[in-house]
Amino acid sequence: MTTSPYPIVRLTPKADARAVRHGFPWVYANELVLDRRTRNLEAGTLAVLEDSNRTAMGIVALNPASKIICRMLDPQPDATIDEKWFAARITRALAHRTRLFPDPFYRLIHAEADGLPGVIVDRFGDVAVVQPNAAWADVLIDTLVAALVAVTGVTTVILNGTGRARSLEGLAERTDVVFGNAPTGPIPVPMNGAIYMADVLGGQKTGLFFDQRPNHAFAAGLSRDARVLDVFSHVGGFGLAALAQGAASVLAVDGSAPALALAEDGAKAMGVADRFSTRKGDAFDVLSALGDEGAMFDVVICDPPAFAPSRKALDAGLRAYERVARLAAPLVAENGYLGLCSCSHAADLTKFRNASARGIGRAGRRGQIIHTGFAGPDHPLMPHLAESGYLKSVFFRL
């Protein structure tokens, strides 16, 4: 037993208490004793988790409406979750990022791996975008933001409460400026020698995908003097990095006109607009059309959204990845390069790689795998949580 200002919740005898003690950060709904008192606790309530023998295991955040009913916050059952507690975790995360990057443009908090379950913070200079994707972070957002400002010195904090993760937690969508003033326009972000324009208020996710930074760099190294096709380009991720390394030309394909406009603005800011063009449309349709047109590129990169966001969607997602590879492979010149990416945690590397290889084979091509890439080091992995290793990229020479 323990004395605490927080209520107590308890694992069932069949729950794997050892996994939680060894670092697994989640408790599923079927692993917790769900009596009337526990069911009536509000989403975001902090509680002391005990095992079935009533031994305290730490402080958890509870959400009776979620399949992940508890998220471990601190293994010390006497911990107090206050601004000082948040500041300690943000300080630790910041020390890692400032060692990695000379400029303050990176993912600052990567959820469970940085000790703040369900919380994402991306930093764009003096602006931070917070995604509170778990109920407890929504409840304590003011405390979190106060610690974030105190530790980093950012002058603006935007709350981006959109996306599938929040809906799974039963949380409403919202986007607010919770500290400081809203940016007057897109924020220029220097990365890999390129300049990206991040729309932190109206763009996809937080406005830019920092996770692909090392994969952008690898693809750019293949792209000197090359004709490059960047499919699912968003704001020009792979294409602008390729131009920064001397690509002869880049064609960016995306279904979003605003994203392509931001990509064009980035190319203009870099002074390479004469080598950059865009094509709006469904990626599958554009890939098919380019094939019919006999188009050919030295480097083709496809970075689609998550086709398999859950296990239920895995089979359909793998078929979609296979189709991307099948349509893209014929566009790659002899001895050219094809880079294929997946951000679906449900599709592990082996399944994704096999689906990609099947698609290449169905297109009548053969290739060597020359590189496998993952998210950058500002997206650390929690060893106990496979879901934190969602991003993978496989580069083929055809």
CA angle 366/372/375 to nearest 5° reads 145
Which runs of consecutive H residues, i.e. helices, occur in 101-253?
Answer: 135-139, 141-152, 164-168, 213-221, 237-244
Is 396 in contact with 369 (CB distance < 8 Å)?
yes
Give dist(CA 302, CA 340) in Å, integer.
Answer: 5
In the DSSP assignment, the letter for residue 106 is: E
Which residue in the block uniquely carries the two structure tokens 């890999």?
A: 192
**Which stretch of DSSP H or E encloses residue 159?**
strand 156-161
The single residue of 70, 302, 341, 343 carrying the catalytic annotation is 343
Give dist(CA 131, CA 166) in Å, integer.
Answer: 9
CA angle 349/350/356 to nearest 5° reads 85
Q: Is 343 a catalytic residue?
A: yes
Residue 320 phi, psi (nearest 5): -65, -40
The residues, ordered by sequence, that sit 6+ positions from 239 with a Cβ below 8 Å of its Cβ are 228, 230, 233, 247, 250, 251, 252, 263, 276, 301
Give dist(CA 237, CA 225) in Å, integer.
Answer: 18
User: How far lies 190's CA from each of 125, 195, 367, in Å?
Assistant: 10, 5, 33
Q: How many CB atoms lie within 10 A of CB 82?
A: 12
Q: How many CB atoms lie within 10 A of CB 311?
A: 11
At position 48, the amino acid (one-letter code) is V
The DSSP bridge partners found for residue 71 are 26, 61
User: How far lies 398's CA from each of 216, 338, 370, in Å?
Assistant: 19, 7, 10
User: How far lies 381's CA from each of 94, 251, 270, in Å?
Assistant: 16, 33, 33
Is 130 in contact with 148 (CB distance < 8 Å)?
yes
Residues recognised as catalytic = 343
